[in-house]
Amino acid sequence: MSKKFFKTMTMGILIFVMVFSLAACGNKDNDKAKESDNGGNDSSSNEQVTIQFATYGLLEKATEKFYTKMAQDFEAKTDVKVEFVSYPYGDLKQQILIKANSGDAPDVVHGESSAFSSYLNSGFIEPLDDLLGAEYVNDIYDGVRKAMSDGGKLYGAPWICSTFLLVYNKDLFEQAGLDPNAPPKTYAEMIKYAEKISELKDKDGNKVFGLGSSTASVPVSGENVLSTMLTFGGNIYNDKGEVEVDTKGNLDALKFYKEVQEKGLNPEAAKLKDLRNLMAIGRLGMYFDQVWGTSGVVGINPEIKDSLAVAMIPATDATDGASLLAAHELHIMKDSKHKKEAAEFVKYITSKEVLEEYYNTTLPFIVARKSVNESLNLNDNFIDPVKDSMTQVIALAKQHSDMENALLEITSAAQRVTIGNESPEDVVKKLDDKLKQVLK
Amino acid sequence: MKAASEGNKKSTRRFFKKLGREKHDRIFAIMLLLPAIIVVGFTTFFPIAKSVIMSFFNYKLKANADYYWNDFLNYKELFQEGEIFTAIGTTFKFMIITVALIFVIGLILSNILNKDVKGRAVLRSVVLLPWIIPTIVTGLLWMWIFQPQYGVLNYLLMKLNIISDPINWVASMKYALYSVVTASVWRQIPFITIMLLAGMQGIPSDLYEAATIDGANSRQCFFKVTLPMLSNVIKSTLLISIITNFKQFPLFWIMTGGGPVNKTTTLAIMTYKNSFVNLNFGKGAAVSTIWLIILIVFSAVYNKAFKTARD
């Protein structure tokens, strides 16, 4: 065996390995492409139709069983197979948009209100009016329908919903000499209640906070702060649909944050999960959260369940209480080859029968379809005080693709007046400039 | 047919003979390296080039989106908004403080572990622990420690009467960055310690013996023998740490999300927000291109400075 022969052999093997591995990659991609082309097959063929449902629900312990059963029941009813495309909660939106961009979109997507503007402005989701029918669409509460529409067309079907609500601890109300069955009706009353609760100490001598309103650097805190702005009669858009933030309502909302900070009523710059923890350990009297947040509180401390209650957002001089919609919503993708079956699936999982089971096996929520909400039999009076909360929903005039960024700027404004110690008058002007830049 | 292939072989042999042995070996070496070069090119340089090109285009994650050259608009917007300058400042501040702390602490620890102390094996294992824990878990762990109302740090400080009221470490304009620095330092100390310890154990013992015979004390031994002998290890370890901290993302995203009031918004956070929150990949790529240029310049200056110091 000569040296030359070994050199030639080595080179030949290396080149072969490289070409083979590249070819293998190519084949894999082709196979994948074929799979996605055939994904679910054509409705016109005799084969069973498969629809892909992108969600994080299967990855979460609390909902995994329910989602699996829901898909099996739908298949038994319609002979349409549901295939889950699972991503963790935090990755879902970007993964779906990347998949859609590469022509590999699922049929139905489990979205949520904070990501709605991103989905809408991506252009990958289908209007639902014709697919779901007028009867279904008109059954949705007006504010909710507007919040999920653009140009008069519905782009998301509300699945499980909530507004921001006032969650409170009845035991702490009693300890502070307040009526546990009479939550505050106005913001002024709420601050008085919070002051009384703040005088309490827990059994270890730790401070009890009167009121929690999340202002951390996350979009959901921005939704909470914006809901406060709406309650005070503010908004980020004026009647003409232009960005206008330097208004009395928004200024009053920032003054409210300043006041509760100065009085030491609110845990500063807290995330919702911090507030849930504090509520669970009996160190928070009231806080703003979506109704399903209460299951997080009970998850931390099951013993607190009977002490928890929810109430509608209190009124101000400007409004009877207002909130952005917080919703898990369903989108049908433009590239879906089975839109009819996808729409059937959406109708099925937003039906009375499925929602009752969802509520009883997972977590509390409000239903955004009038007929279903009125006829729902939950064997649970927990959400009765807030059953009409969907009427408090205010939809923003526009769905901008940079809305999540705008929400982060809104939380920054709340942080400026609280931990930053800036004046509400200066901050509202800064926010006006910033949002005009972000939402241009 | 056979005659033709014989002819081909002969002409190939003649071609290589003409080239000469040296050139022939060089071509052979290149051929051997070619698969690796192609793979590295595809996996490393191609994405970088694509990202740089993307930064000059309107590139948004939308259906039927127009991808077009936008006359440096991504860069113009970044410089007009001005947040990029704050982000660069925050990134450098974080990186310098973190690297300085991990280097000093790592040097002290590796020096202790290099000596014949009791329980050295146990100590070495304990020192490694933070390195084993995933960054995300580290972030959550430190958030829990820093939690203002029921976090262990405030509890201890209040019990020891060092503070009278709880401090909101992670959400404070003053302390937020230093909270992330603390978590980052804790996470990276093992790496730098192990690297320096490996370097120390490679120093011949006769150098210390000679220095001792010449009358050097332990401090002089450290500064005149240990540090100079470690210079190569220090150079590469510091550079790795600088790059690691320059691109630190998970700790910031988990602990502060870039807040409060953008006080902890670094270039990594800016890139992520532009690309994955606003879905503006062009602008996100522009931030990462600026970041890349800064890193290249910084590495070049760093290498030059080290070379000059050694000369």
Give a yes or no: residue A3 inside a domain: no
Amino acid at A385: P
pLDDT over 60 at A311, yes or no: yes
SS3 A424: helix
The residue ranges of DSSP E strands in A231-381, in sequence order, are 284-289, 308-311, 326-332
Give a yes or no: residue A44 inside a domain: no
Residues of A whose CB is below 8 A from B277: 404-405, 408
Q: Which residues pair with A366 in a beta bridge?
A: A161
Is there a contact between A101 and B171 if contact means CB atoms under 8 Å apart? no
Same domain, A56 and A130: yes
* Chain B nearest-CA residue for A264: B165
Same domain, A254 and A401: yes
B261–chain A Cβ distance below 8 A for any pair: yes
Cα–Cα nearest to B114, from B202, B190, B185: B202
Give a yes or no: residue A384 inside a domain: yes
Same domain, A93 and A109: yes
Same domain, A149 and A172: no
Is there a contact between B171 and A278 if contact means CB atoms under 8 Å apart? no
Same domain, A265 and A313: yes
Give the range of the structural domain holding residue A354, as residue numbers without chain letter: 50-155+326-388
Q: What is the mean pLDDT of residues A124-130?
A: 96
Is there a contact between A7 and B28 if contact means CB atoms under 8 Å apart? yes
Is there a contact between A122 and B148 if contact means CB atoms under 8 Å apart? no
pLDDT over 60 at A131, yes or no: yes
Instruction: Among A346, A371, A388, give the residue marking a domain's end.
Output: A388
Give a yes or no: residue A67 inside a domain: yes
Distances, alpha carbon B33 to alpha carbons A14, A18, A50, A78, B19, in Å = 10, 12, 47, 58, 20
Domain count, chain A: 2
Choose the weakest-confidence range: A111-120, A160-169, A328-337, B237-246: A111-120
Plot region of A206 (φ>0 → left; ψ -120 to 50 → alpha; else → beta): beta
pLDDT of residue A52: 97
Q: What is the mean pLDDT of residues A134-138?
A: 96
More confident residue, A234 or B26: A234
Which tokens belong to A131?
């697919």
Distance, in Å, from the CA atom of B291 to the CA atom of B293, rounded to the nearest integer, reads 6
Instruction: Among A348, A365, A388, give the residue marking a domain's end.
Output: A388
Percentage of residues in chain A having pLDDT higher than 90: 75
pLDDT over 70 at A10, yes or no: no
Size of interface A-B (CB pairs under 8 A): 98
Q: Sign of the C-alpha dihedral, residues B90, B92, B96, B98?
A: positive
Give a yes or no: residue A2 inside a domain: no
Give a yes or no: residue A412 inside a domain: yes
Q: At what angle do helices A219-231 and A272-280 cross, to 10 degrees?
A: 80
Write down the residue that tokens 């020192």 correspond to.
Answer: B127
Same domain, A107 and A255: no
Is there a contact between B147 and A97 if contact means CB atoms under 8 Å apart? no
pLDDT of residue B200: 94
Is there a contact between B257 and A402 if contact means CB atoms under 8 Å apart? no
Residues of A whose CB is below 8 A from B61: 97-98, 101, 122
Residues of A whose CB is below 8 A from B63: 100-101, 122-124, 334
Q: What is the mean pLDDT of residues B142-161?
A: 93
Which tokens belong to A252?
């009053």
Same domain, A181 and A320: yes
Query: Which residues of chain B from 82 to 111 reach within 8 Å of chain A, CB to CB?
Result: none
Candidates A96, A217, A221, A431: best to mutate against B (most CBs of B within 10 A) is: A217
Which tokens belong to A75?
């298949």
Give a yes or no: residue A203 inside a domain: yes
Same domain, A383 and A405: no
SS3 A289: strand
Is there a contact between B64 and A15 if contact means CB atoms under 8 Å apart? no
Q: What is the mean pLDDT of residues A338-352?
A: 96
Same domain, A88 and A121: yes
Q: What is the CATH number of the domain that holds A254?
A: 3.40.190.10
B24–chain A Cβ distance below 8 A for any pair: no
Distances, alpha carbon B16 to alpha carbons A5, A12, A70, in Å = 15, 17, 71
Same domain, A356 and A416: no
Q: What is the mean pLDDT of residues A410-428?
A: 96
Select from B35, B60, B262 the Cβ nearest to the Cβ of A412.
Answer: B262
Q: Which residues pair with A329 in a beta bridge?
A: A111, A158
Instruction: Among A366, A388, A410, give the residue marking a domain's end.
Output: A388
Residues of A whose CB is below 8 A from B173: 419-420
Contact A321, A231 (CB under 8 A): yes
pLDDT over 60 at A45, yes or no: no
Give a yes or no: residue A100 inside a domain: yes
pLDDT over 80 at A35, yes or no: no
What's the pLDDT tens digit per position in A214-226?
A: 999 988 999 999 9
Same domain, A100 and A175: no
Note if the pTM is more than 0.85. Answer: no
More confident residue, A396 or B123: A396
pLDDT of residue A61: 85
Same domain, A247 and A345: no
